[in-house]
Amino acid sequence: MKCFDHHKINKIKCNKIKCKYWIKSAQCQNCCLVGALKSKNLTLQDVGEIFGVTRMRICQIEKNAIQKLKDKILSNLK
C-alpha cells in the first residue's frame, strides 16, 4: 500500500512534510494526491487557497503550463 492510499483509506493527515506530495491542507489530509482524487472539480480559488497564493497566480501558472504543453506537442509533430 502506498503512503497516499493509507491516508485516503484511513482518513488521517500526513505528517511527512519532506514528502514531495505534502501540502498544508487539512481537507486533502496534507497530500496533493489525496486532494486530486477527492476533488475533481477544484476552482482556481480552491487551488490558490491550498497553495497559499491568489487565484490569479494559479491562472498564470495554468496558462504557462498549457503553453508549454502546446509547444512540446508542436515540436514533436515536426
Q: How buried is residue 76: exposed, middle or buried, by Cβ count under 10 Å (0-12/13-18/19+)? A: exposed
pLDDT at 68 > cutoff 90: yes
Candidates 58, 8, 73, 10; CA nearest to 36 is 8
Q: Which whole number is the average pLDDT over 51-59?
A: 93
Residue with cell 500526513: 14
Residue 1's pLDDT band (cuts 50, 70, 90)? low
Q: Does the pLDDT at position 2 exceed 90?
A: no
- pLDDT of residue 64 exceeding 90, the answer is yes
Res 70 pLDDT > 80: yes
Closest CA to 22 of 32, 37, 9, 7: 32
Q: Which of 4-8, 10-14, 21-25 has the lowest mean pLDDT?
A: 4-8
Taking each helix axis from N to C terminus, what angle separates 55-77 and 44-51, rounded to the nearest 10 degrees? 110
